[in-house]
Structure 1
Amino acid sequence: MAVPDLPLVVVTGASGAVGGGVAAALAAGATPPAGDGFGGPGAVPGGVGVPDLRMRLVVRDPLRAPQLEPVEVAVASYGDGEACRRAFDGADVLVLVSAGESVDRLDQHRTAVEAAAAAGVRHVVYTSFAGAAPDATFTLARDHAATEEALRSAGLSTTVLRDNLYLDLLPAFVGEDGTLRGPAGDGRVAGVAREDVVRCAATVVGDVLRDPVGDRHAGATYEVTGPEALTLEEVAAVLTAAGRPTRYVPETLEEAYASRERFGAPAWQVEAWVSTYTAIAHGEMAAVSRDVERLTGLPPLSLAELLAR
């Protein structure tokens, strides 16, 4: 039975891998970490040392909500400001997982941010993207930059987690013919496992709840990366060594657009797909950070380690 005066954490996107993972990590709990004050060596994958809390999971379909106890479930989509305001009401910490790719995702984010401000949310943890900037090569990173600005403009205490490309997705980029194609040249990507994103988000939540002043991580931006930056040729070699024969085939821009337009996706989606690779070519996903280890006390997973699991 939930105790009303316990701090409330609201987790959006709770039916997805990141939101659901954060909810599960918070529900698992752990011995409070000790060390550098940002997770430290006591942090463990099964929990993050959070104090007692209440949790509300925000989903669009209640049937897909994780089966965790004790939690509340609220139904809301980012585009529905009033439903979001009700779902966020009373939150000490709101984990704002970015919405799924869509042509109006930025509008959805802005609506959710306005709802968070109206609900009086104490602190927001937002999952952004590496290289977020108004002029980012990766088109969706521009949306993330605009969302970060919306959070600042709303006056919300915020921690931004700028996640690099998910390592978990790289095998899905490989075609049925065993080729990884794209105009990435010899650029590098410091991809991160979703598990490490989850641990960082959950650790920040725990730190904020334990902080009586309420300013730990406020205004901070963390670069959430893996331990190494790989070229796509090196990614192909790691996949091959793990038992999935793969070769990297560089494409020109013209070839990249032509090979993706055949799927019948809208122009904005094709542009997003192609610009993922051109952002790699321009070095916008290459920087390796130690923020995962600094936050959680554990080194991030490499692609080879993730595939070996």
Structure 2
Amino acid sequence: MIIITGANGKLGRAVAERLLERVPAEEIGVSVRDVEKAHDLGDRGVRVRRGDFTDPSSLAHAFEGASQVLLVSTDTTGETALRAHRAAIEAAAAAGAGRILYTSHMGADPSSPFAPMPDHAATEAALRASGVPFTSLRNGFYASTTLMLLGAALDTDELAAPEDGPVAWTDHADLAEAAALALTGGCDDFDGATPALTGPETIDLAGVAALATRLTGRPVRRVVVSDADYRARLLAHGLPEAQADLLVGLFAASRRGDFAPADPTLARLLGRPTTPLADILKAGLKETATPTG
């Protein structure tokens, strides 16, 4: 049985949906913190069990009978994230999984100033130490992040942020399809860390502003501010210090080139072109502008 963790999240749910197109539902299990939110998967024949990385005792039941386990990385950072990931790796090994797959990142690096990246590197080290064959899916930076970074720019017409670098923005749906392929033998040549799985091009925030201008018909100007000023603005808007530091670290890592260049591997795996940022922004901006009633 193929087990997917985090199937109530955006990436985990998308992987489950893609997997349902490739294998019978009874061969799929999901490990989720809230089973009620996954009831629709259960109605379609998927095995739904509670599994929480912070409650290792729950994982033995959630991972029972696993042939493979896809560990979707947690949304925490630091030691909290590492404890959770190690618990999941240990549970997958104990369940007898023949392979563990993990949603890592192209920027995984112990020295990265962006907090999640050292966590990914440490989790990959834990996977190597586990003795279980593994595939670390080094995903490109989620393109949906650009909508968050645009934020107030759509009202103020200014995209104010620290100096940045080019980023190979990548679509959730493309990455979910690649994960489903990996779980069903489509990535047999990948043992250990994959090449970067990215969208088709690298674009910095000046390019994002230009795209937003073209798509909205309103001028959005890229304004560079200092790291300190950006952090102060975030704190003034009520963002916790840890989150402010994380975002400042994102720009520092992009300046180092950690999220570039674009790589052709994802398109090769999918057998089609990957989704350009313009298409993702267009859909996201349309959804933002649509009244919900």
The bucket for the TM-score relative to the shorter chain is 0.7 to 0.9
2:27 corresponds to 1:54: yes
**8 Å CA contact retained: 1:181, 1:249:** yes
Aligned: 1:298 with 2:272: yes
Report Cα offsets for 1:101-120 as digits up to 9, x if no partner: 35512221111112112222
Taking structure 2 as the reference length, the TM-score comes to 0.88
Residue 19 in structure 1 maps to residue 12 in structure 2 = yes
Matches within 5 A, 1:216-295: 216-243=189-216, 245=218, 246-295=220-269
Deviations 1:32-85 (A, max 9, x none): xxxxxxxxxxxxxxxxxx578611111111121162311111112111111112
More RCO (CA 8 Å, sep 6+): 1
Structure 1 counterpart of 2:150, from 142, 151, 174: 174
SS in structure 1 of the partner of residue 138 of structure 2: strand
Partner of 2:66: 91
RMSD: 2.0
Query: SS where residue 223 of structure 1 aligns?
Result: coil
**How many aligned positions are there?**
276
Shift of 1:285: 0.8
- 2:26·2:46 contact (CA, 8 Å) conserved in 1? no
Distance 2:140 2:163 in 1: 15
Q: How far did 1:220 drift?
A: 4.0
Whole-Å separation in 1 of the counterparts to 2:121 and 2:269: 22
Matched, 1:71 2:50: no
Q: Aligned in 2, Cα 1:184/1:156: closer, same or farther, shift over 3 Å? A: farther
Establish whether residue 110 from structure 1 lines up as the match of residue 86 from structure 2. Answer: yes
SS at match of 1:283: coil
Name the SS for the 1:26 alignment partner.
helix
Give the 3-state SS of the residue equivalent to 1:189 in structure 2: coil
CA separation of 1:106 and 1:267: change in aligned 2, threshold 3 A = farther
146-155 or 261-270, which deviates more: 261-270
Distance 1:247 1:120 in 2: 54
Matches of 1:296 and 1:271 in 2, distance apart? 35
SS of 1:222 mapped into structure 2: coil
More helix by share: 2
The correspondence for 1:203, drawn from 176, 181, 205, is 181
Q: Which residue of 1 aligns with 2:102?
A: 126
Shift of 1:273: 1.1
Q: Distance in 2 between matches of 1:206 and 1:51?
A: 12
Q: Which segments of 5 or more consecutive residues in structure 1 lack a partner in the other structure?
A: 1-7, 30-49
Partner of residue 169, structure 2: 191
Report the secondary structure of 1:287's partner residue: coil
Partner Cα separation in structure 1 for residue 120 and residue 100 of structure 2: 14
Asked if 1 retains the 8 angstrom alpha-carbon contact of 2:110 and 2:121, the reply is yes
* Deviation of 1:259 (Å): 1.4
Letter in 2 for 1:18: L
CA contact (8 A) 1:184 1:279 kept: no
Q: For 2:217 and 2:52, how far apart are their aligned partners in 1?
A: 38
Question: Aligned with 2:121: secondary structure?
Answer: helix
Question: Retained in 2: the 8 A contact 1:160–1:222?
Answer: no
Shift of 1:266: 3.8
Cα separation, partners in 2 of 1:52 and 1:175, compared to 1, 3 Å: closer
Whole-angstrom CA distance in 1 between matches of 2:208 and 2:151: 14
Query: Do the aligned residues in 1 keep the contact of 2:59 with 2:88 (CA within 8 Å)?
Result: yes
Q: Distance between the aligned counterparts of 1:66 and 1:244, measured in 2? A: 42
* 1:134-173 aligned within 5 A: 134-173=110-149
Please tell me the residue identity of whatever aligns with 2:175. V
User: Shift of the alpha carbon at 1:158?
Assistant: 1.0
